[in-house]
Amino acid sequence: MKHNAKPLILALSGLLLASCGGQPVPTPSISASPVPSGSTATGLSYSEVSLSSLPEISDSSSEPAPISGLGAKQRTFYQLLVYSFADGDGDGVGDFKGIVDHLDYLVKLGIGGLWLSPVLECDSYHAYDVKNYYKINPTYEKGGVTFSKLLEKCHKKGIKVLMDMVLNHSSNNCDWYTQHPSWYKGPDAFGGSMKDFNYDNQELRAEIKKVGKYWLEQGADGFRLDAAKWIYNYGGTTNGADDEKNYAWWKEFYTACQAVKSDVYMIGEVLVDNNIKDDRNYYKTGMDSNFNFEMRDVVYDATRYASPNSYVNLLENFQKEIRGYNPNGIEASCLSNHDIGRFYNFNGADYSEAQLALAGFLNVLAPGDSYVYYGEEIGLQGTASGWQDMNYRTPMMFDTEKTNPDKYLYNVPSKVMSSSTKSGKSADVQAKASDSLFAAYAKAINAKNSNPSLYSGVVKKNNNGGNSEVGSFVSTLGNTSLTVVFNCGPSEKHVTFNSDVELKGQMAFAGTFGQSGKTIGMPAYSAIIVNGDQPIAKVEASAAPVTPTSSSGIEPDAFGTEVTVEKSGSLTLHVKDTNNWGSMKCYTWVSNVPNTNYTGSWPGSAMTKNGDWYDITISHGATNVIFNNGSDQKQTVNLYRNNPGEYWFVPEVKSGKVTGNWYTSNPYAA
């Protein structure tokens, strides 16, 4: 929905603008972020402010309108594990009735498609060991809602449904395994009770195409293709010849499915740790999408280090590459899923809700179709390190229709963490609030739904107005261009364009937006959409904190946090000598020096005491620093960035660990 911009004097105290019928509210300024006592920071005051918003998120009993105006393949998808989502019949296990009962929740969020993790009859909790390819897991068809009824209800809401199709292997309890042994081939890449198919067998190929046809005729809209990389790559190894055979098979399968349903949508899982870019090649098959698993890394950089450059580069380059293989290829971004864990805990980062919201904006506003893992929109926690599969599948936090992991995560309940969110608030509460993480996600998804060119447009990187914390891209579809700008830093930015602009969307977890002609005030961790191809003339910011950091307190010899790549040039670091410190020693971590964990001093650098500050000049651009604050316990703090320049760090100790804020200028200067 579009609201015409009108000259108003408004102020906002919370996250999302409620449209409020366009009524003015007193106080006409955008306040700067707070800085330490004695410092100064000037906010940008406007005599005229123009604001726009999408429909407010409110506690309303009215049924949300279904999504309309988008193409069949222009969707923001929501991945859910049926057993973990919502229990509609009271047996502790999620089911189709639970999904139907929460369709309005999904519509309010802006979701246009569901990816259902495997729903066929299976042997285990994860359901990727299918026993019967023509039978739905009876556990899910409870409370009078069959799979057909689920499809009917979703389609009435404008929601497409993708089935997770496990076509690389089956359970050894599948009848095919005993009745058609020639349909299988080893060694088995997935091991245990899961047995790999032999796709050189023509009978198997015909049967698999029959399976696809059957479910499309039942009403499914498409498939997420599990382990697409591994159809011919047996035993966990890969080679080029097998990849070519994979491409040929998926093209055959996709073509067969198109004959049944012309607008069938397919997305492949192509994930290899040491060659993540294989996803581009699989667009050769003609299938619509393959997951862009690199998105998580670049969003991490943007949210954790206020460095969006890699993000906007990826958007532009990825699109060019995939459309070279398939002109109709659709990007597919995600931050989390059942295998890779939750972004909330990625690399052990301690994100604020505002940073989690920004991560969501970066994901869902990216070109193509974006995927939200259930609970991501409310800050559902997972596990910080290691492969702990069950902890990625904990119950969705609804106040009613809760699920019980003891009932579906067979034989592993002692390993399952209880569900919790960053705010501690349930999905029911957040969906009714205008200042919640859910509301922030809904704002972004609905903004994209209202501007279809963000789904299908040609993307190019935009300039950042000389501020490295700002990222921007332009999406053009036909004669329509839109410019998207992200403020990835923790302080307000005043973004000035070359000409007057019209706001098409604005989103933040907290803070106020304002506009005066060519200049838009953006709060921390926020995003805006404006009309046209709009180069940024300049970005102005106060001396407010550059980024908050937190420490994990890991000893140097155990330090393993992923860091950014070292860059050349001199970096000058000023560290405040607070009462928490006393005599200070420093150690560095340099990410790309072979066989180097840490050094006992700053190599090629000098550290001097200068009043209340320690001045340190680092010639090589170190990426992390370990401070010793006079005790035996050393504390690790990530450098805000390793670019050449001058930075101020004001440390503080909380619960025995060092945290603090980074500044681009001395915050205590007169």
Give residue-wise pLDDT tens across range 617-653: 665 545 455 555 444 444 444 444 445 567 777 765 5
CATH fold, domain 20-54+455-541, is: Immunoglobulin-like (2.60.40)
pLDDT of residue 8: 22
Cα separation of 78 and 510, whole Å? 24
CATH number belonging to domain 76-449: 3.20.20.80
Cα separation of 493 and 491, whole Å? 7
Vertex 626: Cα angle to 624 and 631 (nearest 5): 170
Burial class (CB in 10 A: 0-12, 13-18, 19+), 571: buried
| Number of other residues whose CB lies within 10 A of the CB of residue 606 | 11
pLDDT, tens digit, 9 for 90 and up, residues 563-595: 232 334 556 777 776 654 445 555 554 443 433
Q: Report, as an integer, the average pLDDT of 110-139.
A: 96
Confidence of residue 599 (pLDDT cuts 50, 70, 90): very low
Q: Report, as an integer, the average pLDDT of 383-392.
A: 65
pLDDT higher at 378 or 547: 378
Assign 142 to helix, strand or coil: coil
pLDDT of residue 387: 54
The pTM for the full model equals: 0.75
Which residue stretches of 3-128 are H helix?
82-85, 96-101, 103-109
Tell me which of 66-75, 336-345, 399-408, 502-511 is least confident.
66-75
pLDDT of residue 116: 98
Domain 76-449 and domain 556-663 have a common topology: no
| Contact assessment for residue 276 and residue 293, using Cβ atoms and an 8 Å cutoff | yes
Q: Which two tokens stand for residue 434?
A: 């205008």
pLDDT, tens digit, 9 for 90 and up, residues 431-459: 999 999 999 999 999 999 999 999 999 99
| Contact assessment for residue 510 and residue 355, using Cβ atoms and an 8 Å cutoff | no
pLDDT of residue 610: 75
C-alpha dist (Å) from residue 613 to 575, 610, 616, 662: 5, 5, 9, 14
pLDDT higher at 566 or 251: 251
Is the omega angle on the peptide bond into residue 187 within 30 degrees of 0, that is, cis? yes
The pairing of strands 130-136 and 120-122 is antiparallel
Q: 């667009």: which residue's tokens?
A: 283
Tell me which of 18-27, 143-152, 309-318, 484-493 is least confident.
18-27
Q: Of 110, 2, 8, 25, nearest to 516 (Cα)?
A: 8
pLDDT of residue 661: 64
- On average, the pLDDT of the chain sits at 78
- Beta carbons within 8 Å of 546's beta carbon, 6+ residues apart: 306, 469, 489, 490, 491, 640, 647, 661, 662, 663, 664
pLDDT, tens digit, 9 for 90 and up, residues 11-39: 222 222 222 332 222 222 222 222 222 22
Which residue stretches of 305-352 are H helix?
309-325
Q: Report, as an integer, the average pLDDT of 217-233.
A: 95
Residues in a beta bridge with 651: 660
From start to end of 498-570, where are the E strands? 503-507, 514-516, 519-522, 526-531, 536-541, 548-549
Residues in a beta bridge with 171: 194
Confidence of residue 120 (pLDDT cuts 50, 70, 90): very high
The pairing of strands 634-638 and 613-618 is unpaired
pLDDT of residue 156: 96
Q: Of 473, 577, 368, 514, nearest to 31 (Cα)?
A: 514
pLDDT, tens digit, 9 for 90 and up, residues 321-359: 999 999 999 999 999 999 888 998 887 667 899 999 999
| Contact assessment for residue 396 and residue 84, using Cβ atoms and an 8 Å cutoff | yes
Q: Report, as an integer, the average pLDDT of 54-82.
A: 64
Q: DSSP for 560-591?
A: ----PPP--S-EEEEEE--TTTSS-EEEEE-T
Most confident of 130-134, 284-288, 487-491: 130-134
Cα separation of 370 and 454, whole Å? 11
Assign 415 to helix, strand or coil: helix
Confidence of residue 309 (pLDDT cuts 50, 70, 90): very high
pLDDT of residue 81: 97
Cα separation of 500 and 516, whole Å? 9
DSSP 632: S
524 — phi, psi (to 5°)? -60, 145
| Contact assessment for residue 163 and residue 127, using Cβ atoms and an 8 Å cutoff | no
| Contact assessment for residue 368 and residue 331, using Cβ atoms and an 8 Å cutoff | yes
pLDDT of residue 660: 61
Which residue stretches of 326-379 are H helix?
353-364
Cα separation of 331 and 329, whole Å? 7
Q: What is the largest CA-CA distance in the chain?
A: 83
The pairing of strands 113-116 and 76-80 is parallel
| Contact assessment for residue 242 and residue 232, using Cβ atoms and an 8 Å cutoff | yes
pLDDT, tens digit, 9 for 90 and up, residues 539-561: 998 644 433 333 332 222 222 22
* CATH classification number, 556-663, choose in 3.30.160, 3.40.630, 2.60.40, 3.30.70: 2.60.40
Phi-psi region of 511 (alpha: psi -120 to 50; beta: other; left: phi over 0): left
Q: DSSP for 222-287?
A: EEEETTGGGSS-GGG---HHHHHHHHHHHHHHHHHHHHH-TT-EEEE----TT-TTHHHHGGGG--
Vertex 601: Cα angle to 598 and 605 (nearest 5): 115
Q: Report, as an integer, the average pLDDT of 161-175.
A: 96
Domain boundaries, the chain: 20-54+455-541, 76-449, 556-663
Tell me which of 200-209, 321-330, 345-354, 517-526 is least confident.
345-354
Residue 365: pLDDT over 60: yes
pLDDT of residue 390: 80
Assign 639 to helix, strand or coil: coil
pLDDT higher at 164 or 592: 164
Residue 603: pLDDT over 70: no
Cα separation of 640 and 411, whole Å? 43
DSSP 462: P
| Contact assessment for residue 140 and residue 116, using Cβ atoms and an 8 Å cutoff | no
Cα separation of 371 and 81, whole Å? 14
| Number of other residues whose CB lies within 10 A of the CB of residue 579 | 7
